[in-house]
Amino acid sequence: MTGTAQAYLREMSRRLGELAEAADLGPAVEAIAASVRAGGLTYVFGTGHSHLLALELHYRAGGPAFVVPVLDEPLMLHEGAVASTLRERESGVAAEVLGRYAIGPGDVLIVVSNSGVNAVPVEAARAGRSRGATVIALTSLDYSTTAAAGRPTLAGEADIVLDNRLPPGDALVALPGTSLRAGPGSTAIGAALLHAVFAEVAARLATEGAPPLYLSANMPGAGDNNRELVERFRPRNPHL
């Protein structure tokens, strides 16, 4: 393994270690657990690469069945990466996308945006709160503070903020002899933070009975377990 590859992995390990010691996940855990107890759902939304975290939590082994991804193909990358970047900066798109989902009081909406300044995630957070949901932002406070330039930020529109503590620009490793950096961290660190939150939610719910978690399809009992959960949540999750 080359020195740059090692440097990236060590930097990721260091940052995850710091988050394990310092990240305040309590408010997010409490909000989601309270929503589940009340029969609510947790919706997850992101644009560009951030939409990967909505997919990461959907129908996942060891993951909660009460999570609903909020998906819009033009905001992803496969239909056109440049067009996606333009769309995530357009005002009004968030209302259009969230209008397809029954987000309301008692639900939680997690909005993911590393920079936290583009119109769609900011307006999505605003729309979620206007519909009575608790809004959790997963973002880099350092990046959004640097990039805001007077604009509203995702963190400023959310009820609860999960700070991934990543630097402006996301890339973590300097390339010798250039001014370039490589190795983004927001997807891996964001996924780790969210899985940590939902693992803690599951642990708290487990004291009150078996939490609704999917099993890996190749594990004993997975068929019956997952079939029951799909039947239970499919009426409210259009992606099952």
Fold of 27-236: Rossmann fold (3.40.50)
Residue 1 has what pLDDT?
A: 66
Q: Is 178 exposed, middle or buried (0-12, 13-18, 19+ CB in 10 A)?
A: exposed
- pLDDT mean for each 10 residues of the chain (240 residues): 90 96 96 98 96 97 98 92 89 95 98 95 97 98 90 96 96 94 97 98 95 96 97 97
Is residue 163 helix, strand or coil? strand
Residue 208 has what pLDDT?
A: 94
Residue 149 has what pLDDT?
A: 86
User: What's the CA gap between 54 and 66, in Å, rounded?
Assistant: 12
Residue 173 has what pLDDT?
A: 95
Q: Compute CA distances 136 → 12, 148, 226, whole Å.
A: 23, 19, 27
Angle at 144 between CA 114 and CA 78, to 5 degrees: 30
Please give the backbone phi and psi of residue 59, each rounded to the nearest 5 degrees, phi first. 50, 50
Of 90, 79, 144, give the one whose Cα is nearest residue 116: 144
Domain boundaries, the chain: 27-236
